[in-house]
Structure 1
Amino acid sequence: MRIAIFTDTYTPEINGVARTLQRLTNYLENNEIEYKVFAPESKAPVPTIPQIERFMSLPFFFYPECRVALPNPVQMKQALECFNPTLIHIATPLNLGLYGLRYGKKHHIPMVASYHTHFDDYLNYYHLPFLQKWIWKYMLWFHRSFQRVYVPSQSTKDKLVDLKFHPDLEIWGRGIDHSYFHPERRTNSVRETYRIKQKNILLYVGRIAPEKEIDLALRTFHSLPSSIKDETHFLLVGDGPQLKMLSQYSNEQVTFTGFKEGDELADIYASSDLFLFPSSTETFGNVVLEAMASGLPVIGANAGGVQHLIQHGETGFLCEPKDQESFTRLTGRLLQSGYKRSAFSVRAREYALSYSWEEIFSDLVNSYNEIMIRNQKRHSA
C-alpha cells in the first residue's frame, strides 16, 4: 500500500485537521506503510522530510490556518510518478486536492476523501452567507468522484446524508493521548504564571475567531452571579483573528494567553477546573476530548460533533446553541458545586479513555484496503 495524501493544512500548522493528519502519517510510518504528503509550505521553518512535498502558498481568505497552495505541476507529476500511489486520500478541497483528484482520475487510482470543516456554517460568521449555495455546489461536485468520504462524527454524517452528499460516508473519529493529557499534570505553576488568585479556573482552548463564539463565552463569564464570578478566573488559550481585539479586554480575572502547545498546554488543561466551549460549528471537537482526558467537565453546545462527546448531566452539560442564559446557569452550577464537579471529572476522564488513536487508524487502514480490493475487483470484472 502506497498512500498519497493531499492537504492544504499540515504540521506545523495548528488545527484539528493538521494534527490528525500528522498523527495518521506517524501511524503509517510506525507500521511501515508507505506514504507521500502533498502540502503547502509553512510560515514557520520546517525540516526537509522525504515523504513531504511542499509548495508555495497563500493564506485562505477567511481561514488563514488553511493555506491555498500554488502547485508546481512538474514537481507534482515527477513526485507522483516516482511514488506510484496505490490509493489517494484528499483531505481538503482546495488547489492541492484538485490536482490530486485530477491525477487520480487520469490514472484510475482509487480515491477517498475526508470532510473536516463546515465551511458553509463559517460563512455566516464572516458576513458571507450569499456564498453558501456556490460552496455546496462546488463541494458536491468535488466529492462525487471519490469511492468513500470519511467524516469525523455522526452529526456530520447526518447533515451530509440529508444533502445527498455521497453514497458512501464512513465515520473516521478522533483519538486522544491519554498518557499526555492527564489530571496528574495539575500544577500551581499555571496559577503563578498567569497570576491567578481566584479559587476556580474556567478554561477555553481553541481559535480566537468568530465561528468559535468567543463573545458568547465572555458574556457567559461576565453574567455569572457575583458570588461565583468573584472566585473564578477565565483563561482563554489560542490564537486567531480576534485575539488582538479581544485581548484588550483582559483584566485581573480574564487572561488571553495566546497560542500554547505541548507540555504547557497539557498543564493548563489539568490545572483548570471547568472547560467552556460554546462553538456550534464543530465537526468533532478535539479540544473537548483533550479537556475530558485531563479530568475537566465540559460545558458545550448541543450541536455538531461536541454533542456526541459530552454526556449531559454526567461529564458536563449541553446547552442550546447561542443560549447565553443556559450557558451561564449551567457554568455557574458546576463552578459552585465542587462535589458535582469532582464526580463529573472522574466520569469525563473515564469516557476519554475509550478513544484510542491506534484503534481509529487501524480501522482507517482496513477501510483503505477494502477500497483498493473493491477497485481491483471492479477492474478485473
Structure 2
Amino acid sequence: MKVALFTDTFAPEVNGVARTLKRWVDFLESRGIDFRVFAPETQTDDFSTNYIYHFKSFRFFLYPECRLAIPNMMTIRQQLEQFQPTLIHIATPFNIGLCGLHYAKKMNIPFVASYHTHFDQYLHYYNLDFLSHWFWRYTHWFHRSAEKIFVPSEETLNHLQQRGFTNLHIWSRGVDCSTFYPRENNESFRKTYHITERHIVLYVGRLAREKNVDILIELAKQMSPSIRWVIVGDGPLKEHLKQQAPKNVTFTGFLNGEALAEAYAAADIFAFPSPTETFGNVVLESFASGTPVVCANRGGVTTIVTEQQTGLLRPPDDLNAWKEAIEYLLKDEQKRKQMGKCAREYAKTKDWNNIFIELLSHYEQVAHKRFSHYA
C-alpha cells in the first residue's frame, strides 16, 4: 500500500481537518505504510520532510485556515511517477485537491475523497447564498469519480445523501483520553487567567461568523457576573468580539497541548453554539475532560451529544433557551458531574487507533477492487 494525500490544509495549521490528517499520516507511518502528502506551504519548516511537498499559497476568505495553493504541476507529476501510489486520497476540493483529481484520472490511480466542511452553510453567513447552486454542482462533479467518499458523522452522511451523493462511508473522529481528562485541581488555569469567579463557561474554536460566537457574548452580558466566559481560539471576528464583550470574558488566543487540556478540565460547561459542524472535534475533547456541553441542536454534534446524558442541545439562535440551559447546569452540580462522567465514558469509546484501522480497511478494499479488475 502506497498512499498519496492531497489536501489544502495540513499541520501545523490548527483546524480540525489539518489535525486529523496529521494524525492519519502519523498512523500510516507507525504501520510502515509509505505515503506522500501534497499540501500548501506553512510558516514553519517543522513539517517539511521527504514525505511532504509544500506549494506557495494564499488564504481562502471563507476559511482562512484552508489555503489556496499554486501547485507546481510538473513537480507533482514527477513525484507521483516516482512514488507510484496504490491509492490517492483527496481531502479538500480546492487547488491541491484538483491536482489530485487530475492526476488520479490521468494516471488511472483509484482515489477516495473525504468531505469535512459544510461550505454551503458558510455561504449564508457571508451573504453569498446565490453561490450555493454552483457550489453543489462543483462538489458533485468533483466527487463523482471517487471510489468512496468519507464523511465524519451520520448527520453529514444524511446531508449529502439528500443531495444525491452515493458511495458514502463514515470516517468518524477520535480523541486522546490520555491528553484530555478530568482534573481535581484546576488552580493553575485559574491563576494563569486571574479567574476568581465561581463558574467557568468555555468555548474553543474559530472566531468567525459561521461559529455563532456572538451569542456567547450576549449571554455574558445578560447572565450572572459570577460566571467567567473563556474564549479559546482566534479568527476574523476576534477584535469585534473583544470590543463587545463585558469584563468577565477572557480571550486566550490559540491553545494546544497541556494548556488546552487544562482549559477543558477547568470549565464547568463547554458552550458550542456553532450550527455548521460536520462533527465537532472540540466537543469530543470536552467529553474526554469530563465537562458536559451545551451545543447548537444542528450539524454533526447532534450525533455525538445525548440530551440530558452528556449535554444539552438547544436552537442555535435562541438566546433564552441557551440562558436557561446554562443556568440549569450551573445550579445543579450533581447533574453536571453525572453528565461529565457519562461524557468521559463515551469519549473512551472513540479510540483513534480503531478508527484509523477501519479507514485503512476501506483503502485496502479499494486497492483490492482495482487489483481484481486487472487480474
Shorter chain as normaliser: what TM range? over 0.9
Measure the CA separation in 1 of the matches of 2:47 and 2:363: 29
- SS in structure 2 of the partner of residue 105 of structure 1: helix
Retained in 2: the 8 A contact 1:8–1:66?
yes
Give the superposition deviation at 1:47: 4.3
Contact 2:4 2:87 in 1 (8 A): yes
CA distance, structure 1, for counterparts of residue 288 and residue 57 of structure 2? 35
> Structure 2 matches for 1:245-256, cutoff 5 A?
245-256=240-251
When residues 326 and 250 of structure 1 are mapped into structure 2, their CA distance, relative to the original with a 3 A threshold, is closer
Pairing 1:139-288 to 2, within 5 Å after superposition: 139-165=139-165, 167-184=166-183, 186-224=185-223, 229-288=224-283
Deviation at 1:61, TM superposition (A): 1.9
| CA deviation string 1:52-83 (max 9, x = no partner) | 01001111122110000100111111111111
Question: Is the CA contact 2:221–2:245 (under 8 Å) kept in the aligned structure 1?
Answer: no
Q: Give TM-score scaled by structure 2 length.
A: 0.98
Answer yes or no: is the 8 Å Cα contact 1:181–1:266 preserved in 2.
Answer: yes
The alignment partner of 2:183 has SS state of helix
Contact 1:185 1:266 in 2 (8 A): no
| Structure 2 segments unaligned to the other structure (5+ residues) | none
CA separation of 1:164 and 1:234: change in aligned 2, threshold 3 A: same
- Figure out how many residues of one structure are paired with residues of the other and give that number: 375
In the alignment, the residues of structure 1 paired with residue 333 and residue 139 of structure 2 have an alpha-carbon distance, to the nearest angstrom, of 47
Question: What is aligned with 1:7?
Answer: 7
Q: Distance in 2 between matches of 1:45 and 1:221?
A: 40
Structure 2 match to 1:76? 76
Match of 2:86 in 1: 86
Taking every aligned residue pair, what percent have the same amino acid on both sides?
47
**CA positional deviation for 1:44:** 3.6
| Contact preservation (8 Å) 2:215, 2:317 | yes
* Conservation of the 8 A alpha-carbon contact between 1:202 and 1:233: yes
- Cα distance in 2 for residues equivalent to 1:158 and 1:299: 23
Match status 1:95 vs 2:82: no
Could you list the per-position Cα deviations for residues 100-129 of structure 1 after superposition, in whole angstroms to 9, with x for gaps in the alignment? 111111111110000000000001111111
Any idea what SS the aligned residue of 1:39 has? strand
Q: CA deviation at 1:362?
A: 0.1
1:132 aligned partner: 132
User: Counterparts of 2:92 and 2:16 in 1: how far apart (Å)?
Assistant: 13
CA contact (8 A) 2:59 2:65 kept: yes
- 1:324 has 2:319 as partner: yes
Aligned to 1:301: 296
Task: Give the secondary structure class of the aligned counterpart of 1:184.
Answer: coil
Q: Give me the whole-angstrom Cα distance separating, in 1, the residues matched to 2:268 and 2:7.
A: 36
Q: Secondary structure at the match of 1:67?
A: strand
Indicate if the aligned counterparts of 2:220 and 2:249 stay in contact, CA closer than 8 A: no
CA distance in 1, matches of 2:82, 2:183: 47
Q: 1:314 to 1:76 in 2, by over 3 A?
A: same
RMSD: 1.2
Counterpart in the other structure of 1:313: 308
Counterpart of 2:67?
A: 67
**CA 94–351 in structure 1, closer or farther in 2 if over 3 Å, else same:** same
The answer to whether the Cα contact below 8 Å between 1:250 and 1:256 also exists between their aligned partners in 2 is: no
- Structure 1: which amino acid aligns with 2:277? E
- Judged with a 3 Å threshold, the aligned counterparts in structure 2 of structure 1 residues 186 and 293 are, in CA distance, closer, same or farther, namely farther
Using the alignment, how far apart are the partners of 1:379 and 1:221 within structure 2?
63
CA distance in 1, matches of 2:65, 2:350: 26
State the distance in 2 between where 1:223 and 1:123 align.
30
Is the partner of 1:327 in helix, strand or coil? helix
Q: What whole-Å deviation, never above 9, does each CA across 1:187-246 have from its counterpart, x for those lacking one? A: 21111111111100000000011100001122233333xxxx122100000000001221
Deviation of the 1:250 alpha carbon: 4.3
> What is the CA-CA distance between 1:51 and the residue it aligns to?
0.6
Distance in 2 (CA, whole Å) between partners of 1:370 and 1:11 is 28
> Which stretches in structure 1 are left out of the alignment for 5+ residues?
none
> Deviation per CA, 1:135-162, whole angstroms, max 9, x where unpaired?
1110000000111100000000001001
What one-letter code is carried by the residue in structure 2 that aligns with 1:187?
N
Contact 1:186–1:267 (8 Å) recurs in 2: no
Per the normalisation by structure 1, the TM-score is: 0.96
User: Which amino acid is 2:123 matched to?
Assistant: L
1: CA distance between counterparts of 2:285 and 2:90?
26
State the distance in 2 between where 1:103 and 1:297 align. 45
